[in-house]
Amino acid sequence: MRKLLVVALVLAGAVVAWLLWRQQRVTPLIVSGFIEAEQIRVGSRVGGRVAEVLVSEGQRVVRDQPLYRIEPYDLEQRLARAEAELAAARAAHAKLAGGYRPQELEQARARRDRLAAALARAQAGPRPGEIHIAEEQLKIAQANLEWAQAEFRYVMSLAKQQTAAQTEIDRVNRQLKSAAAQAAAAEQELALLREGTRKEEIAEARAALAEAQAALELLEAGYQAQDIEEAAARVAAAVAEAEMIRRQMAELTVRSPAECVVEVIDLQAGDLVAPNAPSVSLLDLSSMYVRTYVPAGQLERVRLGQRVPVRVDGIGDRLFTGRVTYIASEAEFTPRNIQTPEERSKQVFRLKVVLEEGQDRLRAGMMGDVLLEQGITKDEAHGARQ
């Protein structure tokens, strides 16, 4: 009897402990939803006629894989013209930055030196030797004049005696006038030499030298900084124009931005696509998540950043790790496809649970259960929320 009593007491204690544990136990919080992937809608910034389509719907593509190509139309010709304009702009900038050629500088120096010599000659006036020569030339002219005068007198004396022909009279008359003119010219030339160079000629020579010196200094200084900057700006503009066309040509091939699955592509060769308009819909497999809903009364059991296991139909007992990244700020009515009829009248908050693993096995559209809390005690749940 005593043994039976002990066994009964032990059983009664176990039942009481189990009832207390069950009273403290929190009902597991498991919500369901579908696995989804981020949708990426891609297109071209330039648009045009489709040359070829390289993928089909449902196909898995990797990052930078071409999806379709567009005909270049006139972009190749525009790029060739832009590159030619860039080459011309660079050549013009190099010419200005390099300054004038050495031959141009030597030519300017030679002209400066020639004009400097001309000024010095003008300032120095005629040399003594030149004046002496002019004096001798005057003496010769005067001697010729005296001879012409003597011969003229002789012929005129014969003419009085009527023994000189008229032709002889005319000849000596011409000789006398010529000799007189030559003598007068020689006298004037000697006077000019003795007077020296005119002030106006010296001033003109000085001005020409100053002009040549300024031209030389201008060449030595090179082109103006503003002209070089303007040429550099033209180069920059030409570079930008060519780069813009290259970027437009890069847009002729539409590529996948990440590892994705082609969801929708309704294009054929020859179709026209508008610029800046989405033409292909992709599902990003690197950011798969479960969209699910939590009843309003259970919202306090969920927090942002919470790591939770996810069970997926068709994968077996394996649990995948997910993280709560979004909790809706406004309530909505329960979607019928994931909740029981009893709970449809309740308000829920939408959750987004991003899957941190399993991208190689999971597929968009699979059904999954998010195990937010799996039968822990109230104290554990309170501690987890803290």
pLDDT band (50, 70, 90) for residue 127: confident
pLDDT band (50, 70, 90) for residue 374: low
pLDDT band (50, 70, 90) for residue 383: very low
Q: What is the pLDDT of residue 154?
A: 82
Contact 182, 144 (CB under 8 A): yes
Nearest of 16, 27, 18 to residue 381 by alpha carbon: 27
Q: Which range (87-101, 240-254, 329-343) has the least confidence?
A: 329-343
Q: Which residues pair with 330 in a beta bridge?
A: none
Chain centre distance of CA 50:
28
To the nearest whole percent, how much of the chain has pLDDT over 90?
28
Most confident of 98-107, 185-194, 217-226, 286-295: 286-295
Residue-range domains of the chain with CATH: 24-45+276-385 (2.40.30.170)
Give me the mean pLDDT over the 253-264 stretch: 91
Q: What is the pLDDT of residue 11?
A: 66
Average pLDDT taken over every residue of the chain: 82
Which one-letter amino acid corresponds to residue 377? Answer: T
pLDDT digits (tens, 9 = 90+) for 7-33: 566 666 665 555 554 554 456 688 889
pTM score of the predicted model: 0.54
Contact 145, 175 (CB under 8 A): no
Give me the mean pLDDT over the 37-66 stretch: 92
Which one-letter amino acid corresponds to residue 10? Answer: V
Residue with tokens 């696509």: 273
3-class DSSP string for 160-180: HCCCCCHHHHHHHHHHHHHHH
Secondary structure class of 185 (helix, strand, coil): helix
pLDDT digits (tens, 9 = 90+) for 143-158: 888 888 888 888 888 7
pLDDT top residue among 98 and 19: 98
Torsion of CA 135, 140, 144, 146, to 10 degrees: 60
